Amino acid sequence: MKRQLIAATVMLLSTAASAATPIIVHRDPGCGCCEKWAAQVQTQFGRRVTMIDDQARGAFQKARGVPTTLVSCHTAVIDGMVFEGHVPITDMKRVLAQRPRGVSGLAVSGMPLGSPGMEVPGQPPQHYVVTAFGAGGTRVFARH
């Protein structure tokens, strides 16, 4: 019983700490779709999102282990995981909850129409893949 109480307390404290941690997004300077995506993230996570116009984002991506084949217009760090491009919030929450071994982040390469922040009224969404990456290599995490 005591062990369960300690585990529950630790989980509550870590949840409260992550809720207070801001989300940092490095983007190509002036990219407007990044702001649309960030607004959705802020609403869904209930946390402040800080946008940084980053002229040297390629170095930031490399330092965070984003494969060059998966780059997009912005890179976010949330609770130690990396999210490259227009990753759907449901996929972000799922990988953060699961923390799969060998996965340090998710990416949506390019800027597919219909992905979060890339919605265009009257335009049908494109099909796209969310790729998990990390020490375990790359693999398909979700298809949309």
- Evaluated on CA atoms 120, 121, 127, 130, the torsion sign reads positive
Q: What are phi and psi of 122, to 5 degrees?
A: 85, -5
Q: How far lies 136's CA from each of 54, 64, 141, in Å?
A: 28, 14, 13
pTM, rounded to two decimals: 0.84
In this structure, the number of other CB atoms found within 10 A of the CB of residue 30 comes to 8
133 neighbors 104 (Cβ within 8 angstroms): yes
For tokens 């390019």, what's the residue? 110
For the cut 70, the answer to whether the pLDDT of residue 113 exceeds it is yes
Percent of the chain with pLDDT over 90: 79
pLDDT single digits (tens) 26-83: 999 878 888 899 999 999 999 999 999 999 999 999 999 999 999 999 999 999 999 9
CA distance 134 to 36: 26
For 136, other C-beta atoms within 10 Å of its C-beta total: 12
**Would you state the pLDDT for residue 20?**
67
Q: What is the pLDDT of residues 116-133, one digit of tens each?
A: 999 999 999 999 999 999
24 pLDDT higher than 50: yes
Q: Is the pLDDT of residue 2 over 80?
A: no
- What is the per-residue pLDDT for 14? 44
Question: What class is the 22-143 domain?
Answer: alpha beta
Exposed (0-12), middle (13-18) or buried (19+): which is 83, by Cβ within 10 Å? buried
pLDDT in tens, 80-110: 999 999 999 999 999 999 999 999 999 999 9
